[in-house]
Structure 1
Amino acid sequence: MPATLPDGDPVPADGALPARALEGLGTRPFAFYVHVPFCVTRCGYCDFNTYTAGELGPGASRDSYADTAIAEVRMARRVLGDADLPVATVFVGGGTPTLLAPDDLGRVLAAIDAEFGLAPDAEVTTEANPESVDEAYLGKLREAGFTRVSYGMQSAREHVLAVLDRTHTPGRVPQVVDWARGAGFEHVNLDLIYGTPGESHDDWRASLEAALAAGPDHVSAYALIVEEGTRLAAQVRRGELRQPDDDAMADRYLIADELLSAHGLHWYEISNWAAAPDARCRHNMLYWTGADWWGVGPGAHSHVGGTRWWNVKHPAAYAARLAEGVTPAHAREVLDDADRRVERIMLELRLADGCPAGLLDDGAVRRMIDDGLIEPEPYRRGRAVLTLRGRLLADAVVRDLI
């Protein structure tokens, strides 16, 4: 979630959606994203909408945040009316969600259940930093109904973690994975980052091997992006750190795919590998396949029936609006059919299942098949699926297809 908000159309004070957005409501999967915007320290590479205690200022606090988030959940119910909307997935992200007390996270989840009802097999995820949880905390989360935990591991090398301003030690990760398993979490993800200045191929391979040794059933591996306005970008600009090299990034991706696949984790989205279909992040799959979701929290984005909106950025402004009974939405946009086609191509082409061939120009796809970017056999069955080389060049492939 970027720290800056895009422009858009105004949103009514009560948050009412266009009639077209409500058509078919309940026929598509429905989810909640809950943003917790607090961190102990700001990592140098991060441009997410997060705040340390010193940055927060008056008008918002961790202690009152759960109640504010619950107020938005109740507003969501009023806006969406009486439609039967069992919640398929809930994802609590940040920031560092586990800076809140487990009872607070549990109360937000209970409010979602009370207002909408959780589906019987709902996936409920929270992100966590390895240093932000202990065995007792994880036990309380599991009792509250959380089913999945996603740890920000990033690297197993201390010098790489130092460049990223991460504060946990590498040995903490297997411990917190064991604690999650002991608490009854069936699904555990580890997030990794490759391409950090000073990281070698051997460093990256060691991080992958350490992640696999910890025993997760899901691994996400993301290329480091040097975002403007971050401390890392300033260090690169001053020549203190080197810009990540594109060829090295491609090599790291190939190393990841080879190692993860060899250990039984297979790609299902360009940056995500899972041990089995039921280990995939169902919440993210809903994003990638055009479902409806309500984003709770400052800066959170939502999507219902082709209407997308995003909340005000600062926690104090967010809390003030909800206290007044006014929508926290900053602005919105209504996607037309052409926009929705482009989004489907951009998102679904990243999946191992690919996107429907009918969305694409046949001639362009056949040229890409000849170039080794799209698999020929799935295309004959009506799906466009990227090859391994196509995954490395996915952004360029999408640009050419849209």
Structure 2
Amino acid sequence: MAGALPDGEPVPQDGSLPPDAAASAGKNGFAVYVHVPFCASRCGYCDFNTYTASELGGGASRETYADTVLSELRLAGNAIKPQKVDTVFVGGGTPTLLSADDLGRILDGVAQVWPLSDDAEITTEANPESVTPDYLRKLRRHGFTRISLGMQSSSPAVLKILDRQHTAGRAPQAAREAREAGFEHVNLDLIYGTPGETPDDFAASLRTVIDAGVDHVSAYALIVEDGTRMAARMRRGELPYPEDDVAADRYLAAEEALSAAGFGWYEVSNWATSAGARCRHNLLYWTGGDWWGLGPGAHSHVGGVRWWNVKHPAAYATRLADGVSPGHARELLTDEDRRVEDIMLRVRLAEGIPLAQVDDRGAKQALEDGLLVPEAYANGQLILTLRGRLLADAVIRDVV
């Protein structure tokens, strides 16, 4: 397939793929991602493809969104025929601004187009203030098994700087409500390194997620993206820029607290209480699976072909109303592209990557620098030490 498609080639109007790519769909697992682009308000650090009501304009609405996604699903079903769907992940935005019944209709639509695995993991993201006990119970009845709640911090001051709308206690309360509703797996997301956050603030956030009884925690360093409100505030001097040393200290604090509470890291930014609690959807991304991304701006990958949809919900809806693919452009990953991306992703996993797949000189230097586990190295596997996890990007750069 190498070289069959130039970068940025238009996507065919029917969404079809090259025959060899379509035939290989799901060979290494298959997932469905559904992007919901709606938010009640915009957080100051967010540069995702999301829209508040005032930003949305005409031509798209929450009320008709499920039907629009189902239209893309029908096109997708004509393009590929994977044997089964291993995971479905509804992200955003705030997916739970849609009704539970609409999310259920989308899930039913996936199952009608492609068979769901008997043990399929079905996840939705949610903002804590956007769900109620009754809403969570409805999601469970529709088949959702996992929920990921955006907590970010337990500090009211930090939440204010991040422009989060929920109160400090709402996220752990929502996590407990999700457990009571019958969700098998519950995740809380944290952001660390926010300007003004103290070590005590982050320690309190860690205690909060542990006490909430969740079985999965994600923790990410704050990244300030150009074009966001937070970036503008920093340029004006209203907020200080994040510091790498502070981020490293926070990560070490997370590892210490979470490991003491029975969580084990399985990806640099993710911890789970057991192998079964790990996010299978993300693992499929990280280990070379295929996925179809539904929704405006969603990215997909099948058989080495990667494509992405038009970004604005109105343009997305218009294309589907006209019966054509919402795909904006696509590219073919060369064998070298796929090799490099595989290393970039697998190095971050607790299982690591075979040494035979990486640059030998770079791996030896990383070992000498204390960034790799010596016992694993002796057995032919590259696995990061704790210090290596802090410097994962540097290790990746040296071993590609």
Sort the TM-score into its range (normalised by shorter chain): over 0.9
Which residue does 1:381 correspond to in 2? 379
Which residue does 1:4 correspond to in 2? none
- What's the C-alpha RMSD, in Å, of the aligned pairs? 1.0
Which residue does 1:245 correspond to in 2? 243
Question: Separation in 1 of the partners of 2:86 and 2:26?
Answer: 11
Which one of the candidate residues 202, 205, 224 is aligned to 1:204?
202
Which residue does 2:3 correspond to in 1? none
Aligned residues: 394
Which residue does 2:15 correspond to in 1? 15
Which residue does 1:62 correspond to in 2? 62
Question: Separation in 2 of the partners of 1:145 and 1:56?
Answer: 30
Task: Between 20-29 and 131-140, report the one with greater CA deviation.
Answer: 20-29
- Contact kept in structure 1, 2:36 and 2:95, CA below 8 Å: yes
Question: Separation in 2 of the partners of 1:17 and 1:380?
Answer: 43
The residue matched to 2:306 in structure 1 has which SS? strand
The residue matched to 1:399 in structure 2 has which SS? helix
Which residue does 2:150 correspond to in 1? 152
Q: TM-score w.r.t. structure 2 length? A: 0.97
- Contact kept in structure 1, 2:96 and 2:127, CA below 8 Å: yes
Question: Separation in 2 of the partners of 1:354 and 1:127?
Answer: 27
- Contact kept in structure 2, 1:299 and 1:311, CA below 8 Å: yes
* 1:160-212 per-position Cα deviation (integer Å, ceiling 9, x unaligned): 00000001111112221121111110100000000000001111111111111
Deviation at 1:84, TM superposition (A): 4.2
- Contact kept in structure 1, 2:60 and 2:313, CA below 8 Å: yes
Which residues in structure 2 correspond to 1:163-312 (within 5 Å)?
Answer: 163-312=161-310
Which residue does 2:34 correspond to in 1? 34
Deviation at 1:317, TM superposition (A): 0.2
Task: Between 11-20 and 190-199, report the one with greater CA deviation.
Answer: 11-20
* 1:30-77 per-position Cα deviation (integer Å, ceiling 9, x unaligned): 110000000000000000000000111111000000000111111111
Percentage identity across paired residues of the two chains: 65
- Contact kept in structure 2, 1:344 and 1:355, CA below 8 Å: no
* 1:57-104 per-position Cα deviation (integer Å, ceiling 9, x unaligned): 111000000000111111111011xx3421100000000000000000
Which residue does 2:4 correspond to in 1? none
The residue matched to 1:125 in structure 2 has which SS? strand
Q: Which runs of 4+ in 1 moved over 3 A?
A: none
Task: Between 169-178 and 325-334, report the one with greater CA deviation.
Answer: 169-178
Question: Separation in 2 of the partners of 1:345 and 1:61?
Answer: 40
* 1:232-273 per-position Cα deviation (integer Å, ceiling 9, x unaligned): 000001000000111011000000001000000110000000
Which residue does 2:47 correspond to in 1? 47
The residue matched to 2:330 in structure 1 has which SS? strand
Deviation at 1:23, TM superposition (A): 3.9
Question: Separation in 1 of the partners of 2:36 and 2:194?
Answer: 26
Which residue does 2:136 correspond to in 1? 138
**Aligned AA for 1:65?**
Y
Question: Separation in 1 of the partners of 2:210 and 2:185?
Answer: 14
Question: Separation in 1 of the partners of 2:204 and 2:26?
Answer: 45
- Contact kept in structure 2, 1:94 and 1:127, CA below 8 Å: yes
Which residue does 2:71 correspond to in 1? 71
CA 1:24–1:381 in 2, change beyond 3 Å: closer, same or farther?
Answer: farther
Task: Between 373-382 and 257-266, report the one with greater CA deviation.
Answer: 373-382
Which residue does 1:3 correspond to in 2? none
Which residue does 1:90 correspond to in 2? 88
* 1:126-184 per-position Cα deviation (integer Å, ceiling 9, x unaligned): 00011000000000000000000100000000000000000111111222112111111
The residue matched to 1:343 in structure 2 has which SS? helix
**Aligned AA for 1:342?**
V
Question: Separation in 2 of the partners of 1:26 and 1:317?
Answer: 29
**Aligned AA for 1:257?**
E
The residue matched to 1:111 in structure 2 has which SS? helix
- Contact kept in structure 2, 1:91 and 1:125, CA below 8 Å: yes
Question: Separation in 1 of the partners of 2:90 and 2:127?
Answer: 13
Question: Separation in 1 of the partners of 2:98 and 2:381?
Answer: 43
The residue matched to 1:145 in structure 2 has which SS? coil
Which residue does 2:25 correspond to in 1? 25
* 1:330-374 per-position Cα deviation (integer Å, ceiling 9, x unaligned): 111100110000001000000000012111122221121111011
Question: Separation in 1 of the partners of 2:64 and 2:82?
Answer: 30
Gaps of 5+ in 2: 1-6
Question: Separation in 1 of the partners of 2:180 and 2:214?
Answer: 13
